[in-house]
Structure 1
C-alpha cells in the first residue's frame, strides 16, 4: 500500500500508513511467556523458536501401499520377485532385505535396510509366494530421512500465531508443551451518555452500544483477552476513575467515541490528566478522528464513535499495534489485487476502505461494492466479506485492479 503523503500538507490529514508506523514505534514489550499444553496453544503467539530435535522423517519410509525392493534387483526393469515378508506402519524394519526379493509394505512403514524403491500395489500382481512388479524409477515413492527438515533445523519462528497447521506440526515433533505469550489484556470502554445496552429501553436520543460488541469480537478474534470497562459517563471525574481502574488491570486500553474535535472534552481531558494525549485526523474513510496516548502508563487508542468507522479503524489501524503488542511479527494484512466491478470517478483526499465482496460471474473473481458506505452502517459490513482499498485522490474504472482486504485475514 502506498501512503497518501502528498496530500497530507494540503488537507492536514495524517496518512494511514504513517499513523500505523508511528503507532508501531510505541508498542510496549509483549506479555510474559508461559508454558502451556499443546492442546491449549491454538491461536496463541509463539514466544520461542522451535527447533527439530530429530530429522523428519526419522527414517526412510514408504509413501504408499506397495512393495519395497532394490531397484537393481528387477530384471529388465520389471518382472517377478519372491516375497520376503510384510512391514506395516508401526513395525520395526531391522533385518536387511535379502538380495533379489521384495517385501509387502504399507504407507508410513519403514523401509528395510537395503531397499531403495517402492512399487505401488496398483502396478503389482501377486501369485503364490512371488509378485510381478512394473518398472518405476529408482527411489520412487520413498520418503527420505530428513526430507522435511534435518535435526537441529529451525522449524517455526517466534512471533507467529499457532494455527491448526502449526499445532499439528508441533505434535509431529513430539512437543507436549509449548512456550507462548500470555494473551494481551485489552480494556475496552465506550464513551457517550446516549449509549444503552441491548435489552434496555431507549429514551429519545439514545442508541444501543454496538461498538462494545463489534470491537470485543474483533479483539477476541485476534486472540486477545477483553476486559469490559463498560460505558464512560460524560463527566470528568467518572471518566478519570473508569480509565484509571481499567489501566490497573489491562495491558492496553481501547475506547470508542469522544475523540472528535467537536465533542465534549471529558474523555480527552481525563486522558490528559492521567497520562498523554495525541489527537490525529487520519486520511481514512470511514473514520478520521483517532487518538493515541497513555493512561497511567498503559497505551491507549481512541477510536471514532460511528459503528462502521470504529470497526474499520480497529481492523486497519489498531490491529497492527495490538498484534505487535501481543508479540506477533507479521502484523500488516496483505491485500489481494483483483478487478473492480465498479467505477470510482471522484478522487478523495482520504484513503477509502469500502465494504465489498468477491463475486465470480463467468468464473472470474471481481470486487463488488455495497451501495451504502455510511460510517454508521454495519449492515453493509455484514453483507461484505472484505474491504476495497482506494488510495487518496485515485479514480478507478471498471476492470482496473483494486486492492481487496478479506475480513478473514483482518480478523486473525
Structure 2
C-alpha cells in the first residue's frame, strides 16, 4: 500500500516529513522539544510553518479509531486536542513496514500536568489543578465519552485567568456513547484514581513531588471533587411553589462552577404541591461567545469574563453607557487591549498568550494600586509587570531546540 495521509492537513510540508524512517530515529532538525508525560507509544513534536504538531506512532487500526474519536469530541466542542491526519502505508527504504502515525495539533500555551506537579506547588494551585481535571471528566461524561485511561500524562492544561482549563490528549481507549451509564462513569473514575495515584507515586519516588503532597489523598480528592460536581450538575431538586429563589441559587452555583443552564425541566410531584426541578446543563461559554462576537478574541472562559469586565469598566470610564456595545468593544480593542499586548518586547511575547498576559497585567495594576492607595494606571502597571514579573516567567510558547531527551511519551 502506498503512503497515504488522510484527514484535514493544512500544511503541505507534513507529507514531506521522513515517514520512511521510524519516529524514534527522526533527524533532530525536524523536531522540537516540549515537556510531556508517559506514553506507551513513541511521540515526537515537529514544527512546520510556525505550527507545532504532535506525532504518535501507532497501529493503523488504532490511529484511525483515535482520529475519529478526537474528531467527534471536537465536533461536540469537548475539551480535547485537534486531530489533523492519519498517515498509513509507511515503509522503510528497504521495504519493511512501519506503524501508522496519528498527527494532532499541539495546544499552544499548554503543559502536561506532570510539568505542573514536578517541584514546589502551593496548595491552592493544587486545588485548582484538581478542579480542572474534575471539570474535564464531567464535561467528557456529559458528552457521553468514556475515557478509559484518564491520567496526568493524558491531560494538558492551559492557564485560564486564575484557574486552569484541562484538555484530553490521548483518546486511544475512549468510547463515545449517547449516554454513559452510572457503571461506566464509576469505572472511569476508578481507572483515573489508580492511574493518578501511580503517577504521583512515580513523581514522589523521583524526588519531583513537594513533600506536603500525599499521593493517595490527591487521587482520592479528585474523585470526591468529581462526584460533588456531577451531583451538582445532574441531581433533581424538589422545591415548594414559593421557593423559586432556591432555583436561582442553584443556577448561580452552576455558573460559578463553569457551566451554563440551557433550560429547566419542571414537573409537579404526584399528590403534593411540590415541584421537581432538573436543570439541563451545557458547557460554559457565554462569556467566550460574547467576547468572540464583540472583539474576535477567542480565549478561555475565565479570561473572557475578565476581559469583558475590563471592557465594561472602559465603557463606564469613557461615559459610553448608552453607546452601541460593538462600537465600545472596537474602541476598547484599539485603545486598551492591543496597545498593551504590542507594548510587550518581542522577545517576551512567547511567555504567555495575549489574553492571559492582559489578565495578569490587570492583576498587577490592582496590587500596585492597593499598595499606592490610588489607581496607578495601566501604563505604569504594564512597565512594572514587564520588569518585575514577566521577564522571570518560563516561556510557555517557546520551543527549545536541540536533541530530544530520552522520552517515553506524550
More helix by share: 2
Whether the TM-score (by the shorter chain) exceeds 0.5 is: no
Question: TM-score interval w.r.t. the shorter chain?
Answer: under 0.3
What is the TM-score when the length of structure 2 is the normalising length? Answer: 0.21
More strand by share: 1
